[in-house]
Amino acid sequence: MLQPLLTHLEKWLFEPPDSLIGRPLWKIARILRYPYALVRDIVRGHLTLRAMSLVYTTLLSIVPLLALSFSVLKGLGYHEDLEPVLFSFLEPLGTERAYEITARVMDLVNNVRGTVLGSIGLVFLLYTVVSMVQKVEESFNFIWRVERPRSLARRFSEYLSVIVIGPAAIFAALGLMATVANTSLLQKIATYEPFGTALVLLGHLTPYLLVTGVFTFMYGFIPNCAVRLRAALVGGVFAGALWAAAGMIFTSFVASSTRTIVIYAGFAIAVVALIWLYISWLILLLGAQLSFYVQNPQYLRPGHENVKLNSSVSERVALSIMYLIVSDYRTAGRRWTINALADHLDLPGAALGPIVTALERRGLLTLTDDDTWVPGRDPDTIELTDVLDAVRQETIGPRLGKIRNVAPAVAAARAAENALKDALKGKTVKSLVEEGFDGAS
């Protein structure tokens, strides 16, 4: 009974009747597509599995990551500020448990010293930290449909620069805000209402605003593709608000579950910490997924499911791709990426991927260093039948052996093929761009 209801809901959200288009209910339906897609992705399990994987990675990497950040902050004089930040992140576990875990982690971090580690240990520490960030990048690239990760050199240079500079920048910003808050001018302004109440409220919101800023930066930086600021900001605000709400709910849950926690005895801290880590990673991935949908709304309906086009649509899309790329290449116009083509054709990029790959294998398209596509050879030598053959002969999965022929069926298929070749005879991609196509000629 549930599946027909979901099918009807999806059809109402993505295929509303013409009578609703332009009306308030239609605008509401367009907004509801986003929470529907996020809930659907959670139910399908793609994001939950990634979140569980990141929990395991965090357990292995959290101490080296904090040790590296601590060493950098210690050199800049901010190391004493690391403990309260870690405590605030763990505060939803309850004050006592958050304090205990923070104390244990800080003891481990303080024990990680260069003289104790040695050169091999230091290399392993850096490798562990980079591996954790790489795992996060893989999850973000999965969400953004990016098949090519950063190169090894870029990983070390970009990851380490962010890990080193990021904490210092955050604590410097916190220090600057604290300094401004203590100025005589601001304190004098705080004596007047409603400025006093507004400043107090801003002080309470500052940690959540900082989390939102960190999330926004991660959504814009970590995926190995161009992310628009608007998409990253929407995802950051959503994830920051959801993280704050989840923290309050989780705190009340832990406070009201003392009997259940007693059952786990000494394991209670570990169990509660693992649950909170999982929730935090899931929220981070949900924000990334929302950022992707904001920038690529054509994916809202299929999500991560494979989009299969029938043969006639695939051929039409292949000819459209060649037309767009060749047309703008000849006039030095825009350069087309997969995402740009998907936006223009109003199709998910997952549906275009196999078609573009087939055209590349036949040498009809070439991928440049900036991830844009250009003609693989002179458009005057690319016949329209070459484009159709590239799509038709692309096979997915293992190749079959020789198939037994049925003579009348083979004759009919060859007649249709010859008719198509006669209709397209002498037509190239260049002539299609310059002259168009007259079906009667």
HEC string of 138-162? Answer: HHHHHHCCCCCCCCHHHHHHHHHHH
Does 231 score more than 90 pLDDT? yes
Is 218 in the same domain as 125?
yes
Is 167 in the same domain as 255?
yes
Does 317 score more than 60 pLDDT? yes
The answer to whether position 304 is within a domain reads no
Please give the biggest Cα pair distance in the chain: 95
What's the total number of domains in the chain?
3
Q: What is the mean pLDDT of the chain?
A: 77
Question: Which of 233, 266, 299 is at the close of a domain?
Answer: 299
In the block, residue with structure tokens 């999806």: 10
Is 31 in the same domain as 175?
no
pLDDT for the residue numbered 191: 67
Mean pLDDT of 343-357: 79
Q: Of 370, 380, 287, 386, whose CA–CA distance to 336 is shortest?
A: 370
Residue span of the structural domain in which 69 resides = 45-299
The answer to whether position 4 is within a domain reads no
pLDDT for the residue numbered 291: 94
pLDDT for the residue numbered 181: 53
In the block, residue with structure tokens 């939950």: 48
Is 232 in the same domain as 380?
no
Q: Are 299 and 36 in contact (CB under 8 A)?
A: no
Q: Are 224 and 155 in contact (CB under 8 A)?
A: no
Question: Which of 299, 331, 357 is at the close of a domain?
Answer: 299
Q: What is the pTM (predicted TM-score) of this model?
A: 0.69
Is 153 in the same domain as 293?
yes
Is 177 in the same domain as 242?
yes
pLDDT for the residue numbered 289: 94
